[in-house]
Amino acid sequence: MKSRIFLYAVIVFVVVAFSGLWFLSTIEDQEPAQVFPASINYDCAPWDGAAFTVSVPYNSTSTITISIWEAPDRFLPSTFSFPDESGGVGNALHVLPSGEYEQLMGKVSFGRVQAGRSVKGGFNLMSESGEQFKGRFEAQWGNEMAYCG
């Protein structure tokens, strides 16, 4: 009986030790993400439903545009994956100065979205060519109103 308890104790210790090492290694690999000023505006989903779009000036020559096809007034903190296979969530684009754009893949997270209050979130996206776009944003509401339908 004592040998069985000892065996279980060793197994638990090893699992806890490896879990701790893994956790510490992920913390060390994370570099603080840059916080980008951004704007958020009401928008329309492709089917004329309520939506919102966040525009993040990523550098002096390009913008990350994230559209979520849900009404912002009933929006809880959430994370979205792109591309959206269902076609009902939204999209993430890298917009170049020429107006051309490329679809991005990865994840975007939002805190609470409420009209008149800044919206905080983060993104970890990649283009098809492998260019990485990573950071956090704090978006202020713009004046643009969208009339859908």
pLDDT digits (tens, 9 = 90+) for 131-141: 999 999 999 99
Predicted local distance difference test score (pLDDT) of residue 1: 59
* CB-CB contact of 119 with 36 (8 Å): no
Where does the pLDDT of residue 41 fall: very low under 50, low under 70, confident under 90, or very high at 90 and above?
Answer: very high
Q: Is the pLDDT of residue 3 over 80?
A: no
Q: What is the per-residue burial (b if ≥16 Cβ within 10 Å, else e) of 55-92? A: bbebeeebbbbbbbbbebeebeeeebebeeeeeebbbb
Residue 51: enclosing H or E segment and its boundaries? strand 50-57
Q: How far apart are CA 63 and CA 102, in angstroms?
A: 11
Burial 109-123 (b: 16+ CB within 10 A, else e): ebbebeeeeebbbbb
In percent, the amount of the chain with pLDDT more than 90 equals: 52
